[in-house]
Chain A
Amino acid sequence: MLYKVLVVDDEAPVRDLLSDLLKREDCKVTICATGEEALELLKKDTFEVVLLDIKLPGISGLEVLKNIRDTNKNLPVIMITGFGYNEDLIGKSKEFGCCGYIGKNMPVAQIITTFKQFVKDAKNGE
């Protein structure tokens, strides 16, 4: 197994696709639809990486990230968003301690490559 990943996205077709893509890379994937669910799952289980959508119903992805950082400084969290490359969101995500940012406008192959690179860098302490 490559990584144990938590995928958080409110749109089922998107999170299923991301899940399938990661499973093909030999990841163990858990999926959920909201930030609240994600925080609950993180309390119960241990993950090696979180792929977190920014725009979520209820508490936003950025707030979830902030919450994670309150308890866990090292868990790699990668933000993903339909807004594509957005400097404001990238800035905020970095400020709250994400280890990477992926736009949903990327081709799927590139999404996975970027994801793997971010996790690798995070684990290497970069």
Chain B
Amino acid sequence: MGLAIKETKEILHDVLDNTGVVVIYLDVNRNIVFCNKKTEKLTGLKHDDIIGANWLKVLFHGNNSIIKQEMFKAVLDECVRHKREKDFEGVILDSDNNQRLISWNLTPIMVENNRVAGSILIGHDITKIREAGNSAKSIDETLKDILSSLKDYALFVINLEGNITYFGMGSEIMLGWNKKEIIFKHLNLLHNADDAENNLHFILEQVRLFGKCEKETTLISKNGEAIPVILTANKFLDSDGKHSGYIFIAKDITERKKLEYQAFQGEKLAALGLLSAGMAHEINNPLLVISGRSALLMEENLSQKIKNDLYLINSQAERIQKLVDRILKYSQKTKPVFTAVDINEAIEFILPFAQYSNLPNTKVEIKNNFEKNMRPIKGDIHQLQEVFLNLIINAYQSMPNGGIIQITTRNFEDHCALIQIKDTGLGISADNLKDVFMPFFSTKNDGEGLGLSICHNIIKNHNGAIELESQVGRGSTFTIKLPFI
């Protein structure tokens, strides 16, 4: 039996020595009567130095932090007073003077008559666990940094009531809202509720039904601008896995849309060009007969009345002829003769001609803002002059009450020349803006609607780009980009 008890004690010692935790037995005077090897290892003190010493002197032997010692003392006081165990966290220094974060458990030892005979202190070193937690946090931070740098993406979260609870990544840049302004505001701010297809509630319905929804749609920015996006919506689950809202990731596709639109316009124009050429050919033959026969008849000995009518027929045929010529010009791929073109010179040359288009009794001022050292571009000077002339004439005609035409040239981003022709005229409505480069589209009563489509074709054949920005009542700006030689 005696042997058995001895063996049990040894086993207990072994167990206590080999557990990964600190085990300390305190007497009622709070002196240590037992400690395991982990205690020696952690504190760096020898067994004999520990046994009999005050627990706080042992635990804080290398640290005079009164506050920490007071905290440990308060915990033990409470345990003893209330006769119940207590868990707490506290930092001590190890043998190498490194801070160790320990999760402590302090339990009073109760003997007969509900008396406290001492306490057991068990400490679990959680420094590494917490460090791992911290580094996980720093990965989160890194991800957040990376995601924040993706300015084309907006990430926002709403709760089940539709209120925005998170507004991160590029949301502020893309949508113009400041985080503080929009947090807890309703999702309705970001979409056009009247637009059934782009309604975010419709997207949310899809998420509810199918768990996820990806859709090309538009979001409304703070200043009311519609921003085309690819919107991915998912259920947002909280840390307990409970559905607590929706997470949206929106990718700004404005640039892509622009390119798609240009390509679409290009194809449409090419198809129209082909159609126009075929039609023009079919019109030219009968038209030649009409104008030719009427011209021949006019030379016959006929009454003045008939001659007048024949003249009318002939002149109207000629009118059609001119229109057909314009259509043909638009549709034909006339090969540009490329040479080095000085844009400033090309524009200066046509300015006197453009001024003839000034409407009567209007005062139009032309302001030139030419870059002095314009790099030459590769182009057909006559075709380009036709473009500039057309645009300046347009500018004149759009200002029946006078105004300012500002012509700007500059070297743009090292690869192309930028030419801007800006007027302060009537402007074009947003509805009409998308059609201005289409043939036969005109906002002028007497316009045949080919001028801008010809300009578009010419610039396209020069591997350039032409864009129009306009606001009703404020004027229009044509921007042309042409690659340098």
Q: Measuring CB to CB, which residues of chain A are less than 8 angstroms from any residue of chain B?
A: 11, 13-14, 17, 20-21, 24, 55, 81-88, 103-105, 107-109
> B286 touching A21 by the CB < 8 A rule?
no
CA distance A108 to B299 in the complex (A): 13
Give residues of chain B (324-347) contacting chain A, Cβ–Cβ below 8 Å. Answer: 324-325, 328-329, 332-335
Give the nearest-CB partner of A85 in chain B: B328
Which of A13, A20, A84, A85 meets B296, CB within 8 Å?
A: A20
Give the nearest-CB partner of A14 in chain B: B285
Q: Which residue, of A20, A82, A88, A103, has the highest number of chain B Cβ atoms within 10 A?
A: A82
Give the nearest-CB partner of B335 in chain A: A87
CB distance from A34 to the nearest CB of B (A): 16
**Is B295 an interface residue, CB under 8 A from the partner?**
yes
CB distance from B326 to the nearest CB of A (A): 10
The number of inter-chain residue pairs (CB within 8 angstroms) is: 67
Which of B289, B296, B329, B332 meets A14, CB within 8 Å?
A: B289
- Chain B residues closer than 8 Å to A87, beta-carbon distance: 332, 334-335
Give the nearest-CB partner of B278 in chain A: A83
- Chain B residues closer than 8 Å to A21, beta-carbon distance: 292, 296
A-B contact pairs, 14 of them (CB 8 A): A11-B285, A14-B285, A17-B289, A17-B292, A21-B296, A83-B277, A84-B280, A85-B328, A86-B328, A87-B332, A88-B332, A104-B285, A107-B321, A108-B296
- Chain B residues closer than 8 Å to A109, beta-carbon distance: 295
The binding surface of chain A is classed by DSSP as: mixed
CA distance A19 to B291 in the complex (A): 15
CB distance from A95 to the nearest CB of B (A): 14
CA distance A105 to B287 in the complex (A): 8
Give residues of chain B (301-358) contacting chain A, Cβ–Cβ below 8 Å. Answer: 318, 321, 324-325, 328-329, 332-335
- Chain A residues closer than 8 Å to B289, beta-carbon distance: 13-14, 17
- Chain B residues closer than 8 Å to A86, beta-carbon distance: 328, 332
Given contacts A83-B280, A87-B335, A107-B295, contact A13 B286 (CB under 8 A): yes
CA distance A55 to B280 in the complex (A): 13
- Chain B residues closer than 8 Å to A105, beta-carbon distance: 284, 287-288, 321, 324-325, 328
